Amino acid sequence: MKASEIRKMSDTDILNKIKELENEIFDLRMKQSTASLEKPHKINAARKDIARMKTILTERKNQGGNE
C-alpha cells in the first residue's frame, strides 16, 4: 500500500486497517511455524504497511498540535 493511498484514508480507517494487518501477520506467523507458508515476504510487507500507517497517523497528530 502506497503512502498516497493511506493519506486519503481517515484516521479510523487507518486504525481498522492496522488491526486487520496485525491479525494477518499473526496468521502468517502461525503458518510459518508449521512450515506451510508459501510467500514469506508477505510478513515483511505487512509490517512495512503498518509502519507507514503509524507514521502518517503521527504526522497528522503533530500537524494538529502546531496549528
pLDDT in tens, 29-50: 999 999 888 888 999 999 999 9
pLDDT score, position 64 = 75
- The CATH number of domain 3-66, selected from 3.40.50.2300, 1.10.10.60, 1.10.10.10, 1.10.287.310: 1.10.287.310
Q: Where are the domains of the chain?
A: 3-66
pLDDT score, position 1 = 80
C-alpha pair distances (Å), 16 with each of 32, 40, 52: 24, 23, 14
Q: What is this structure's pTM?
A: 0.86
